[in-house]
Amino acid sequence: MTPGMSRRRALAGAAVLGAIPALAACGSADDGADPTTVDPNGTDPASSDGPGGDAAADFASTANIPEGSGVIFADQGVVVTQPTAGQFKGFTNICTHQQCPVTEVTETINCACHGSKFSLEDGSPVEGPASAPLDEITLSIADDSISLA
């Protein structure tokens, strides 16, 4: 404690200094990736494909989209499904009921907010409360790579 400093002021200053590391620990190491994003290729979907590559180009491999189900790519805002072998469909990942992101793909595309379920084939609602289909997103399939068209 320095001359002229009250015990109360010294303790308050120490408390502030002690809180700085704690506040830093509360910070986020968020790299912008949505934790619901599934990247079956094990790569960063926002990374470049190399010199002159398009960062949003190929974000998935057809081999990683299960037949009769699908995968949510939250960073791209798309759900990719494979209703039957070799048939790939893209839909927005936003539920048409109250704009919650869909959370799971099983034999349907599922929204956990209110229980809506959508068809893998055409995005139409198969269980409400949603009454409108998911918007279709055009995909580009080249070899075994999937990108947004």
Asked whether the predicted pLDDT for residue 132 surpasses 60, the reply is yes
- From residue 103, alpha-carbon distances to 69, 92, 116 in Å are 13, 12, 11
For 47-63, what is the mean pLDDT?
58
Q: Which residue has the higher pLDDT, 72 or 10?
A: 72
Taking only the tens place, the pLDDT of each residue in 62-121 is 999 999 999 999 999 999 999 999 999 999 999 999 999 999 999 999 999 999 999 999
Q: For 77-133, what is the HEC assignment?
A: CEEEEECCCCCCEEEECECCCCCCECCEECCCEECCCCCCEECCCCCCEEECCCCCC
Q: Which residue has the higher pLDDT, 60 or 26?
A: 60
Q: Model confidence at 9, in pLDDT bands (50, 70, 90)?
A: low
Of the chain, the percentage scoring pLDDT greater than 90 comes to: 56
Of the chain, the percentage scoring pLDDT greater than 70 comes to: 62
Give the Cα-Cα-Cα angle 80, 70, 41 (nearest 5 degrees).
75
d(CA 84, CA 107): 11
Q: Which residue has the higher pLDDT, 57 or 110?
A: 110
Contact 109, 118 (CB under 8 A): yes
Asked whether the predicted pLDDT for residue 2 surpasses 90, the reply is no
Q: Whole-structure pTM over 0.85, yes or no?
A: no
Q: Kindly state the tokens that stand for 83.
A: 């209703």
Asked whether the predicted pLDDT for residue 6 surpasses 90, the reply is no
The pLDDT mean for the chain works out to 74
